[in-house]
Amino acid sequence: MTKKAVLVGCNYPGTKAELKGCVNDVERMYRCLTDRFGFQEENITVLIDTDENFRKPTGANIRRALLTLVKGAEPGDVLFFHYSGHGVRLPAETGDDDDTGYDECIVPTDMNLITDDDFCEFVDKVPSDCIFTIVADSCHSGGLIKNEKEQIGHSTQTEFDGEQKREGRFGFRELLSETVHDLVHDAFESRGIHLPSRNGHRHESEYNKEETVKVLNYREGEARNRSLPLSVLIEILKEKTGQEDIDVGKIRPTLFDFFREDASPKVKKFVKVLVSKLESNDDGGFLGAIGNLAQQFLKQKLEDSDDSSGYLEPALQEKVSSTHEVYAGSMKNGVPDMGILISGCQSDQTSADANPTGNPLNAYGALSNAIQAILSEHDGPIANRELVMKAQKVLSKQGFTQRPGLYCSDCHVDAPFICD
C-alpha cells in the first residue's frame, strides 16, 4: 500500500482575489500527513503560488497532478487531495429542466477553472479498492463532486431539520428567478454599470467596489470570503486576456480562447457542442441565455480566425456522447465507492479565510483549521462522520455560518479519516 497526496494552496498574491491563509493550510496539512498519517515526502505533490521553489497551482498543473495521482494508483493505495482557495459558481449555460443552475468550480491561480464535472472524470479513474479522500476548503464546495451520496449536509436535499429551506433547494425551476436576476446584474456590473439589488440587499459585486472579497466578522476577528464574485473573475480575465468585451455569457468561451489545450475538458466539450449548433444553424434547443451569448462570442472568433479548424482542434478532440454532457448539473457516474468528499461548506454557502491576529502567518481556512484542531485532540483514528460533525460544532462556536459536508458511500461514513 502506498500513500499519495496532492496539496494545493492558492493565495492569489497581488491580485484583486488575494487571500491569506490558503498556503498556510497546505503547510499544516503537509506536516499532518507526514507526522500523523505516515506519508512519505516524495509521495506528496505541493502546488502553491507564494514560493518560486514550488510548482504553481495553475489549472493545467493541478489537472496534471490529479491525473498522475489517480492513474498511478493501484488497488489498496490511499489517495488524498486537499484544495484551499477560491471557489466560484458559473451560471448554467443551458435552459434544461434537469439543470442545477450552476457549475461549481475551484479557481486555480491563473483562473483556468476546474469544474465539478472535471472532478467527476478524475475520480472515475480511481482503481477499485483505493481510498480517495478529498478535502475542499473553498466556497460552494458541497457541489464540487455531484451524485455521490450526501451523508452530512443539505446541498442535494430539499428538506432537512424538519423544515423546507430555500438555500437547500437546487432544482432549476426553484433557482431560475434568482439566477436570471444575478445574470442580468452581473452582466451590467461587468460593464461597469452598478444596479441596486432586490429586496434592499446588496449584490455580492457591490461588496467589491473597494474590497474584492467580502470581509466577514466572526468571534475571533475578521475573515474573508473564499467565494470569487463573477465580476472579479471577469475583471481578472480581462487583464489576463486583454479582451474588454467579456461578460457573464462569455466566460466559458473566453477560457477556451485563452487556455486552448489546457482549458477545462468541460469547457472544451461545451465549445464543441456550440460548434455543432453553429454548423446546423440551430439557435434554439438546449441553449439558454448564457449559451446563446457564448455562441455569439464563438461565432465572431471563428469569423476572425484565419484557421478555424486549428482554432477549434482542442475542442473537437473531446468526446461528447450527448449534449447532456455539457449541462451544468448533468447526471454522471459521480464518485466511485472509494471516493470521499469533505467540503468546507454547502454548495450555496461560502467558506471563510480567517486572519484573527492580522498577521498573514497566522491566517487559515476555517475548515482546514478546524480539522487540524480536531486531529490534535485525537491520538487515534477519527471517523469521517465524527470529524465533519465536530468541524460543524467548532465552526459554529467560532461564529462561522458555513456548514461542512460529507459525501461518500455508506461504507465510508464511519471509516477512519484518510487512513488508520
Cite the active site residues. Answer: 86, 139
Region of 9 please: left (phi>0), alpha (psi -120 to 50) or beta: beta
Residue 393 CA to residue 382 CA, distance in Å, equals 15
Helix and strand totals (H; E) in the chain: 11, 16
Residues 6+ apart with CB under 8 A from 313: none
Residue 107 CA to residue 82 CA, distance in Å, equals 13
* Look-up of cell digits 459558481: 89
Residue 4 CA to residue 130 CA, distance in Å, equals 11
* Look-up of cell digits 489537472: 63
Q: Is the dihedral of CA 242, 243, 244, 247 positive or negative?
A: negative
Which residue, among 5, 9, 6, has the nearest Cα to 364 in the 3D structure? 9
Which residue, among 2, 96, 84, 93, has the nearest Cα to 47 in the 3D structure? 84
As given in the structure block, the three cell numbers for residue 210 are 473597494
As given in the structure block, the three cell numbers for residue 360 are 498573514
Residue 349 CA to residue 267 CA, distance in Å, equals 24
As given in the structure block, the three cell numbers for residue 416 are 477512519
Strand 87-91, strand 102-106: pairing = antiparallel
Going by the DSSP 8-state scheme, the letter that residue 305 receives in this structure is -
Under a CB-based contact definition with an 8 Å cutoff, are residues 232 and 16 in contact?
yes
Residue 148 CA to residue 3 CA, distance in Å, equals 23
The distance of Cα 120 from the centroid of its chain, to the nearest Å, equals 12
Residue 132 CA to residue 370 CA, distance in Å, equals 21
